[in-house]
Amino acid sequence: MTHPDNISECNDSISEESLPRGFRFSGTACGLKASGKKDMSLLVADQPVVASGVYTQNQIVAAPVLNCRSKTPSASIRAVVANSGNANACTGQQGDQDASEMCTILSEKLDCLPEQILVMSTGVIGVHLNMSKVQEGIQDAFAMLDDSPESFLMAADAICTTDQSRKVAARSIQCSNGTIRIAGMAKGAGMIAPNMATMLSVIFTDAKLSPEQAQSMLKIACDTSFNRISVDGHTSTNDTVLLLASGACDVELDEPLANDFQQELNQLLRQLAKLIVLDGEGAKHIMAIEVVGAVNDDQAFEIAKTVAASPLVKTAITGGDPNWGRIVSAAGYAHAKMDPTNTALTICGETIYRDGTPVKFNAGELSGKMKSNREVSILLQVGLGEGKANYWSSDLTTAYVEFNSEYTT
């Protein structure tokens, strides 16, 4: 069983041996993006596979999300078609028809039903798709389908929008009678505050899963990964995470092995989630927030999420300012119970606040440490309870403000 801890090792860590069996991939450019970069991705199973999905909880929901929700979980999915450059969100009945047409175009190529095709879109909201370009893109991408690592990476590139780099990861489980492989791709850099119950992710495995298993396992994995990250506190209209299981490795998941698979799935999604935060638009640092000592895990999560969302905390991290007052006060206004006399704060391994009282520390040295580390660790004790939670968030820079103030103009 593999357990890579350094997330930088996960990017582009896709080899022929790490790809799950039973899938083919492609990515191409069809002109939906003015830049000419890849914007059409196909993820195709050789045979019908199990698929599950977890989606945005935003009340304003994109047409592709509605389409996918109606089809998962399932044991008969053949492919995912995904475009970037256009979210197909807030596009009314025409948007629903366009999402369905994307499924129909690919289903005809695969000689299957449109109900066996899932669809994802990401990009600008409120603009109708150019369906002639979409059709041409699907045709071109279909001709390029391959099971190579290069094709996997091309597909990962084609779902990106403002991402500075692709986000991929792979893991495996060695069993007595074979190897189970899990690989995933994701996109996301802005509009990130997933509330799963504009980020996209598709996870592939050759494990044998039932639709019920796949749905349950994916939900658990999302709750400890994509639902614990934030860039700007904005939940997208298009957030979608899919899990496709081909069963091609022919290894049955007994109870111990199912537990191992869940842990590997959790870790893989966590790797992808942290890569999204690291790529936050204009971000310089990732805040790795850990809250301990809360009344329960839910309250610890609420405190961590509140600290992560504070603009004052975010800007302090940007400037390498060990301003403990901003962090502690943010925790204090979260909708969760704290014990001020047993509250402590440690940044980058140095305790600067303990038992409700400031601790002497070298602000200049700690500031230098914060500035020089891409990942700034924040450990916050809020009492003596057993509740704990982790959360990851980007800092807030002027580059983020400048980029998003000019996004559509």
- What is the rounded distance in angstroms from the CA atom of residue 25 to the CA atom of residue 148? 8
Check: CB of residue 166 under 8 Å from CB of residue 252: no
Strands, sheet with 229-230, edge to edge from the N-terminal-most edge strand: 229-230, 387-394, 286-294, 375-381, 344-347, 350-354, 357-358
Q: Cα separation of 257 and 272, whole Å?
A: 23
Q: For strand 117-124 and strand 167-175, is the pairing parallel, antiparallel, or unpaired?
A: unpaired
| CA distance to 21, 24, 129, 156, 317, per residue, from 43 (Å) | 13, 6, 20, 10, 38
Nearest CA to 137 out of 194, 81, 207 is that of 81
Any idea which residues carry the catalytic annotation? 198
Helix, coil or strand: residue 237: coil
**Cis preceding-peptide flag for 73 (omega within 30 of 0):** yes
Contact assessment for residue 199 and residue 192, using Cβ atoms and an 8 Å cutoff: yes
With beta carbons less than 8 A apart as the criterion, state whether 378 and 288 touch.
yes
